[in-house]
Amino acid sequence: MQEDFLHYLWKHKKIEILNLKTVEQEKVELINAGEHNHNGGPDFFNARLKIGGQDWAGNVEIHMKSSDWFVHNHETDNNYDNVILHVVWEHDAEVHRKDNSVIPTLELNEFVNKEALGNYQKLFDKTKKWINCANDFETIGHFTMNNWLDRLYFERLERKSKAINDILKQSKNNWEAVLFKLLAKNFGLKVNGDAFFSIANSFDFSIVRKQQSRLSSLEALFFGQANVLNQDMQEPYYLELQREYEFLRQKFGLTNNGVVPLQFFRLRPVNFPTIRLSQLANLYHLHQNVFSKIIEAKTKEEIYDVFSVGTSEFWENHYTFNKQSKTSKKRMAKTFVDLLIINTIVPLKFSYAKCQGQSAEDDVVGLMQQMTSEKNGIVDAFNVLKPISNTALQSQALIQLKTEYCDKNKCLQCAIGSEILMRRD
C-alpha cells in the first residue's frame, strides 16, 4: 500500500466518518479535511476537526506508520507545530510536538471499507497488465468515462497552451511567427519535427514575409537553412536554389549552424522532408495571412481549403534532388491536414483565445468532434479494452490518460480509478 492511498481516503472522506476515534478513544468529527498540499510541509492545510468535543483548526499529517514522523524528522521542524491530527495506517509510536505535547493519532485501518481496500489491492496488484485497470476498464460507466475524457482533453490543451506561450515570448508576441514554427514542427512529423522546428527558429519570420511573393525564394530559404544545398549538382533547379540562397544568406546574415539534420530513413516518399518543405513554402506563398485565416475558420472544410496546396513544379516528379520519379501533384492529403488540425491549429486557437481573454471551448470541441479518432498504438489498445474512441477529442484524451495517469500509476487521481476503488459487490 502507498501513502497516497491514505491521502485519497482522507481527502475524499472514503472512511467511516461517523465512527472515527483516535487511538486514545476520543471521538473525531471530520468537519473539513483541509486543503491537499502537494509541496513541502504537512499533507493537508487548514483542516477543521472536533476531537473529544473540542474544536480544532490546523494541519493534518498522514503516514503509513506513526514512527514515520521521526523517520522524516518532523519533531524538529517548525512547519509541523500546527499539526492537530496524525492520520496513520498503523500506530506504532506516540508522537509529540516540539513542546512535548501529544499529537492525537487516528489509526485509519479500523475505519476503511474492506471492499475499498480490496479494490485498491486488486488495482495495484503485481500482475503485469498494459494499464492497472485493464480488467475493469470495459465496465466503466458512460457518464464517468465521457466526463473524464472531456476533462483530460482540456488538461492536455492547457499543457500545450503553456508550450505555445513559451514560443510566443520567444517570438516577441508575433502570433504569425508562432503559427509558422508550430506548423513547421508538425510538417516534419515525428521523425523530422525537431529538425523542421530548428529550421523555423534559425531565422526571423519577417524574412518569410518579405519573400512570400516568390516561391523559389521561400524554397531556397527553407532548403538552405536545412543545409541540403551544399552539394555539387548540375540540376538547374538545384543551382537556382543555391544562387537564391546565397543571396538571402548574405542579405539577412543567415546561419544554419544549430539546425538539426534532416532524416529520410524509414519514411514514405510522400513524407520526405524535401516534399514537406516545398509544401510549407507553397502554403506561405499562396496565403499572405495564414494566421488570420486559421483563427477565422470554424469547420475542418474551411481549414482544408487553406491547406489545399502542393509543391513547386520540380517536386511533382521528384522526391529527392538527384532522382526523377513518376509525375504526381503531391498535394497535402486530408489525413495529414487532420494531424495539423489536431496538433497545431486547435491548440493555437485555444491559446490565442485565452490570450485575448475569450473562451474558445465551444469552437474547440466542435472542431475536434468533426475529426475522426486518431489511430495509434495507445488509442488502438484502449479500443481493444472498450470501443470508445470515435473522435479526435477522445483519442487525444486517451493519450493524455495513458501518458499522464496510467504510465505514472496516478490511478487515485483518475476518475476511472476512483470509480473502481469505491465499488461494492
pLDDT in tens, 307-330: 999 999 999 999 999 999 999 999
Write down the pLDDT at residue 128: 81
d(C-alpha 393, C-alpha 374), whole Å: 9
Whether residue 1 is predicted with pLDDT greater than 80 in this model: the reply is: no
Contact 265, 273 (CB under 8 A): no
Greatest CA separation found in the chain? 93
Write down the pLDDT at residue 175: 98
Phi, psi torsion values for 68, nearest 5 degrees: -65, -20
Q: For residue range 382-407, list pLDDT tens digits in order.
A: 999 999 999 999 999 999 999 999 99
**Torsion-angle region of 183 (φ positive above 0: left; ψ -120 to 50: alpha; else: beta):** alpha
Average pLDDT over residues 123-144: 92
- pTM confidence score: 0.85
Average pLDDT over residues 100-121: 89
If pLDDT is split at 50, 70 and 90, which confidence band does 425 have? low
Share of the chain above pLDDT 70, in %: 100
The cell numbers describing 386, all together, are 472498450
Write down the pLDDT at residue 313: 97
CB count within 10 Å of CB 6 equals 21
Write down the pLDDT at residue 126: 75
Average pLDDT over residues 194-201: 98
**Please, what is the average pLDDT of the chain?**
95
Contact 80, 74 (CB under 8 A): yes
Reported as type and span, the H/E element at residue 165 is helix 142-170
**Torsion-angle region of 263 (φ positive above 0: left; ψ -120 to 50: alpha; else: beta):** beta
Taking CB atoms within 8 Å and a gap of at least 24, the contacts of 2-6 are 2/124, 3/62, 3/63, 3/64, 4/412, 5/120, 5/412, 6/62, 6/63, 6/64, 6/87, 6/88, 6/89, 6/108
Q: What is the SS3 assignment for 194?
A: helix
Q: For residue range 59-82, list pLDDT tens digits in order.
A: 999 999 999 999 999 988 889 999
Task: Please name the residue that has the C-alpha cell 472522506.
Answer: 13
